Homo-oligomer: A and B are copies of this chain.
Amino acid sequence: MSNKKYVYLFEEGNAEKKNLLGGKGANLAEMTNIGLPVPPGLIITTEACKEFSALGQKFPVGMEEQVRENMALLEKKMGKEFGDKTNPLLVSVRSGAPVSMPGMMDTVLNLGLNDDTVNALAESTGDERFALDCYRRFINMFGDVVMGVEHNKFERFLDRQKVKACVYFDNELTAGDWREVIEEYKWLIGKEAGHTFPQDPFEQLFMAINAVFNSWNNERAVVYRRINKIPDNLGTAINIQAMVFGNMGEDSGTGVAFTRDPSTGEKKLYGEYLINAQGEDVVAGIRTPHPIAKLEQDMPEIYRQFEQICMLLEKHYRDMQDVEFTVEQGKLWILQTRNGKRTAQAALKVAADMVDEGLIKKEEAILRIEPGQLDHLLHRRIDPDAKLNVVARGLPASPGAASGEVVFDADLAEKLCHEGEKLILVRTETTPDDIHGIVAAQGILTSRGGMTSHAAVVARGMGKPCVSGCEALRIDYAGKRFLVGNMVVKQGDVISIDGSTGNVILGTVPMIDPELSPAFQRLLGWADQIRSLGVRANADTPKDAAKAREFGAAGIGLTRTEHMFMAQDRLPVVQEMILAHDLKERQVALDKLLPMQQGDFYSILKAMDGFPVTIRFLDPPLHEFLPSAEDLMVEITELRLTGGDKEKIVEKEELLRKVRSLSEFNPMLGHRGCRLGISYPEIYAMQARAIFQATAQLVKEGFNPIPELEVPLVIELKELEYLREMIVGIATDVQKEQGVDFHYLIGTMIEMPRAALLADEVAAGADFFSFGTNDLTQTTLGFSRDDAEGKFLQAYLDKKILFDNPFVVLDRCGVGKLMKMAVELGRKTRPDLLIGICGEHGGDPGSIEFCHVICLDYVSCSPFRVPIARLAAAQAKVKLDPGVKKDYSTL
């Protein structure tokens, strides 16, 4: 006989033995050992399960013996006997793997009931109907799970019984009805399973154990493990636990409670209970449960006991708990406890309070917050309780929500905005020509374009909600309406958009304002103390810069100068510059742009006084500032066929020629970034001068501007050297002209694979690197974001070829490998190289963790994600830095 221990009493285990006892078993053991009144029970180990499989579905030698021995101990503890006709012990038999696999394996409740014990149960509960209901449920469950009789065959008998009894609901059936049903169930099992329903409780028990072990390898469990990458050789443990009943009279009851308010985090018991009831009754909603506070009046002793247990649980688990309890004839039993789910607000308050209470350290408090959950706290959002009339769904391109009248035209939007209207600008896609419309609108809705389409990028920059690529929309500009299916939405109709979900909603919706609660502020303060990763914001306007500073950004990691070019008053000058026939003409236009840009930079540097501001030189291809060839073609064709003005035609044709000569097959890989600076040094020269003049002006006014000039799209040191020489020359000129000294850095985006591969060379010409992970992802994967998100990316996610959208969650193994290489190579050349990230990944918590791991100096994200980034940076430090981990070794 083997002397291996296959069976543990709850009191023999603890939370550490999860692999051997399964998650549920280890948890029950832990609760038992801290002295909670848990219904006693025993655990068959995962080891037994593995041997059971290895032996070809046979129990290992000695296991049965051990089960019987421990069941005897259980009987003694409960003062009941398994199969006893007056005081029978009933048990539940539940699977419990080391890794949670909810609903994948089998469970049997009320085991131990038979034709005799059911009567004893009826007597002790004083409720015959209830006892019989338990019995018929047990037969059904046992027949289905253990004996392989399909559940719907049982259902058929039940339905027949209801017809016979002329009732609609199960709870209308009487004890007599249940007796008939029970006989039919037993008959069904005998017929279908080729074996009568077993009356011997131990026969029931071992059959159930056999079934649960087998369920480890049932099809859905195998599939679940494959999908979730859970090893197949873990095995499941089995928990056999005494049943307790909350419906054994007025001194019994059942309930669920949180140790704190899960909506607000307030420190008070929160939950509900029912006297003389089972857990199911609470769920079924037939009786209305009472708030937990009332228990103090109904059962003062039990309430005090429960309160104490809740405090004990919080102390032990060091988190807010969600506790299930049952009172059986005046005795309190704790059935389950787990960390309670909570709202973002509650999570923040609970974590902060627990630090105050000395329950957890600040580092642990930081880890308690799911940063993704905070996103909606930072934007105006739709009241989560509102009922919505969602008519379509596009891409969630810029978070937040907005309502307003539909408008299809930017000029009209501007006009109506001046008249005080709230508007949603609806376009197939937007162009620089629409900027004033975007400014005027509350939110943007487009039927084409991805998460980096013009509309999306501009809206995110402005912190305005945007839903892009909503392909269900058919926009009829001429008819001033759009169609979704057969529904028509006309100009002036009110809609709402939710840029966090992509939803398009008819009518207005109730909104909630963003909150930065005191608890949130405190946690962020702690995060700032802990984190080593800096947090900056991407901001193109002084307003955004101020917002970012308010949210705790210590600098700007990316200012895109092109958005300044797109402003309505600038665009004609920008176009003049582009259409210039020679350098002289271009210089005239640039001379007009210089003071405007200088003003832009002045305001932003001033708003960020004392913090660094990374200003990127002009990046997009020039044709983005011109109308599309297609529009021009159609215009020209119309003018021709309708006998339009000849001069106008000639003019349009010349513009068309220029547009065509600038048009590109793949603009993402085209004439942009520093390639513009190399073809047209005069453009970058103007921008450098504008930056330095603004800097000099601020220094004179007593401010402390810290400009960092950033060269985009570099692939080669020589690009940087060429431009650096020019920029340094301009800085020296301006310093001389203005008679002031100022400090500045010149660095580069790392956004092309070649720059990362040759980072050791590139670093020789750069004071700083900033990873442009949007473009780096596009080139490394060969994914045009605009095209991928609307076209094939979904198929990739559906077919599990990729697990995440790589534009949202940094592709660590591909793009990340390049980044790591670039950091190492770059610092080999320049150990003091300042390195950051300004792609949208800079605001994604998982990606921020990776940035911490590869030792970046800072992340930069949209102003609204700054608090999230601060928290995520601290979490990465706490989780991954061994020096920090020591401080909360109790975790």
A binding-site residues for B, Cβ under 8 Å: 471, 629-630, 633-634, 637-638, 641-642, 661, 664-671, 675, 678-679, 713, 715-716, 718-719, 722, 751-754, 757-758, 775, 778-784, 786-788, 791-792, 795-796, 799-802, 811, 813-815, 817-818
A796 contacts which chain B residues (CB < 8 A)? 675, 678
In whole angstroms, how far apart are the Cα atoms of A629 and B631 in the complex?
11
Q: Which residues of B contact A780 (CB under 8 A)?
A: 752-754, 757, 779
23 chain-A/chain-B pairs, Cβ below 8 angstroms: A630-B630, A633-B633, A641-B641, A664-B784, A664-B787, A666-B666, A666-B667, A666-B786, A668-B669, A670-B788, A671-B787, A679-B791, A715-B781, A715-B782, A716-B802, A751-B782, A752-B781, A753-B753, A753-B814, A754-B782, A757-B817, A757-B818, A779-B780
Residues B722 and A799 in contact, CB atoms below 8 Å apart: yes
Nearest CB of B to A198, in Å: 45
Interface centre among A667, A719, A753, A796 (most CB of B within 10 A): A753
Residues of B within 8 A of A638 (CB): 637, 641
In-complex Cβ contact of A641 among B630, B642, B661 (8 A) = B642
Report whether B814 and A784 are in contact in the complex, using a CB–CB cutoff of 8 Å.
no
Cross-chain contact B801 with A678 (CB below 8 angstroms): yes
List the B residue with the shortest CB-CB distance to A816. B757
A792 to chain B: which residues have CB within 8 Å? 671, 675, 678-679
Q: Is the CB of A669 within 8 A of B787?
A: yes
Q: Which of B629, B641, B665, B679 contacts A786 (CB 8 A)?
A: B665
Give Cα A718 to B801, complex, Å. 5
Closest to A714 in B: B782
CA–CA, A784 and B754, complex, Å: 14
Identical chains in the assembly = 2
Q: A718-B801, A800-B718 are in contact. Are A669 and B669 (CB under 8 A)?
A: yes
Residues from chain B with a CB closer than 8 A to the CB of A782 are 668-669, 713, 715, 751-754, 775, 779
Q: Which residue of B lies closest to A665 (CB)?
A: B786
How many angstroms between the C-alpha atoms of A716 and B813 in the bound complex?
Answer: 10
How many Å lie between the Cα of A781 and that of B667 in the bound state? Answer: 14
Kindly provide the distance from the CB of A226 to the nearest chain B CB, expressed in whole angstroms.
13
Q: How far apart are the CA atoms of A533 and B752 in the complex, in Å? A: 31
Please indicate which of the listed interface residues A661, A752, A815 has the most CB atoms of chain B within 10 Å of its own CB.
Answer: A752
Cβ-closest chain B residue relative to A668: B666
- Do residues A719 and B801 form an inter-chain contact, with CB atoms below 8 A? yes
A676: nearest chain-B partner, CB-CB: B792
How far apart are A576's CB and chain B's nearest CB, in angstroms? 21
Residues of chain B within 8 A (CB-CB) of A781 are 715, 752-754
Q: A665-B668, A678-B792 are in contact. List 18 more A-B contacts (CB 8 A).
A: A637-B638, A666-B666, A666-B669, A666-B778, A666-B786, A666-B787, A667-B784, A669-B778, A669-B779, A669-B782, A670-B784, A670-B788, A671-B787, A675-B792, A719-B801, A722-B801, A754-B811, A757-B818
The answer to whether B758 and A814 touch across the interface, beta carbons within 8 angstroms, is yes
Q: By the criterion CB–CB under 8 Å, are B666 and A784 in contact?
A: yes
A802 contacts which chain B residues (CB < 8 A)?
716, 718
Q: Which residues of B contact A715 (CB under 8 A)?
A: 781-782, 814
A783, A799, A802 interface centre (most CB from chain B within 10 Å): A783
Query: In whole Å, how far is A838's beta carbon from the nearest beta carbon of chain B?
Result: 17
Complex Cα–Cα for A800 and B675 (A): 13
User: Shortest beta-carbon distance, A206 to chain B, in Å?
Assistant: 42
User: Are A813 and B758 in contact, CB atoms less than 8 angstroms apart?
Assistant: yes
Q: When the two chains form their complex, are residues A754 and B716 in contact, meaning their CB atoms are under 8 A apart?
A: no
Chain B residues with Cβ below 8 Å from A779 are 669, 753, 779-780, 782
Q: Which residues of B contact A637 (CB under 8 A)?
A: 634, 637-638, 641
B753 touches A818 (CB 8 A): yes
Residues in chain B near residue A787, CB distance under 8 A: 664-667, 669-671
Determine the distance from Cα of A519 to Cα of B64 in the docked complex, in whole angstroms: 89
A757 to B752, CA, bound (A): 14
Q: How far is the CB of A782 from chain B (nearest CB, A)?
A: 4
Which of chain B's residues has its CB closest to A720's CB?
A: B801
Best-surrounded residue of A666, A668, A775, A811 (most CB of chain B within 10 A): A666
Q: Which of A719, A784, A786 has the most C-beta atoms of chain B within 10 angstroms of its own C-beta? A: A784
What is the bound-complex CA distance between A718 and B779, given in angstroms? 19
Q: How far is the CA of A633 from the CA of B628 in the complex (A)?
A: 13
Closest-CB distance, A165 to chain B (whole angstroms): 49
Task: Give A802 to B757 CA distance when docked, in angstroms.
Answer: 16
* Chain B residues, CB < 8 A from A751: 782
- Which residue, of A667, A722, A787, A791, has the highest number of chain B Cβ atoms within 10 A? A787
Task: For A664, list chain B residues within 8 Å (CB).
Answer: 784, 786-787, 791
A791 and B671 contact, Cβ closer than 8 Å, known pairs A634-B633, A780-B753: yes
A99 to chain B, nearest CB (A): 23
Q: How far is the CB of A295 from chain B (nearest CB, A)?
A: 53
Asked whether, in the complex, the Cβ of A669 is within 8 Å of the Cβ of B813, the reply is no
Q: Which residue of B lies closest to A642 (CB)?
A: B641
Contact of A630 among B633, B775, B814, B818 (CB under 8 A): B633
Q: Give Cα A783 to B675, complex, Å.
A: 10
- Across the interface, which residues of B come within 8 angstroms of A778, CB to CB? 666, 669
A344 CA / B68 CA spacing, docked (Å)? 96
CA distance A387 to B781 in the complex (A): 50
Q: Which B residues touch A666, using CB under 8 A? A: 666-669, 778, 784, 786-787
Closest to A641 in B: B641
CA–CA, A1 and B637, complex, Å: 91
- Chain B contacts for A670, CB-based, 8 A: 784, 787-788, 791
CA distance A629 to B786 in the complex (A): 18
Within 8 Å CB of A669, what residues of B? 666, 668-669, 778-779, 782-784, 787-788
A818 to B675, CA, bound (A): 23
* Smallest beta-carbon distance A67→chain B, Å: 44
- 3 smallest A-B Cβ distances: which pairs? A669-B784, A666-B784, A754-B814
Smallest distance from the beta carbon of A258 to chain B beta carbons, Å? 41
Distance (Å) between the CB of A444 and the closest chain B CB?
18
Please name the residue on chain B nearest to A630 by beta carbon: B630
**Chain B residue nearest in CB terms to A716:** B801
- What's the minimum C-beta distance from A489 to chain B, rounded to whole angstroms? 20
Per the bound structure, the CA–CA distance linking A802 and B716 in Å amounts to 8
Select the residue from A638, A751, A814 with max chain B CB neighbours within 10 A: A814
CB proximity of A655 to chain B, nearest CB, Å: 15
Question: A753 to chain B: which residues have CB within 8 Å?
Answer: 753, 779-782, 814, 818
Complex: chain B residue closest to A474, CB-CB: B657
Residues on B with beta carbons closer than 8 Å to the beta carbon of A817: 757-758
Find chain B residues with CB under 8 A from A629 CB: 630
The closest CB in chain B to the CB of A635 belongs to B637
Instruction: Please measure, in the bound complex, the distance between the C-alpha atom of A815 and the C-alpha atom of B781, giving whole angstroms.
Output: 15
Alpha-carbon separation in the docked complex, A175 to B154 (Å): 133
| Inter-chain contacts of A661 with B (CB < 8 A) | 471
Residue of A629, A670, A713 with most partner-chain B CB within 10 A: A670
Within the assembled complex, what's the spacing in Å between the Cα atoms of A789 and B787? 24
Tell me which residues across on chain B come within 8 A of A713, comparing CB atoms: 782
The reply to whether B784 and A665 contact each other, CB–CB distance below 8 Å, is yes
Nearest-neighbour CB distance to chain B for A766, whole angstroms, equals: 16
Q: Which residues of B contact A752 (CB under 8 A)?
A: 780-782
Instruction: State in angstroms the CA–CA spacing of A757 and B782 once bound together.
Output: 13
* Cα distance A757–B713 in the bound complex, in angstroms: 20
Question: A633, A679, A781: which has the most chain B beta carbons within 10 Å?
Answer: A781
Q: With A641-B642, A791-B670 in contact, is A678–B799 under 8 Å at CB?
A: yes
* In the bound complex, CA of A730 to CA of B671 (Å): 44
- The docked-state distance in angstroms from the alpha carbon of A818 to that of B753 is 9
Complex CA gap A811/B468 in Å reads 38
CB of A478, distance to nearest CB on chain B (Å): 12
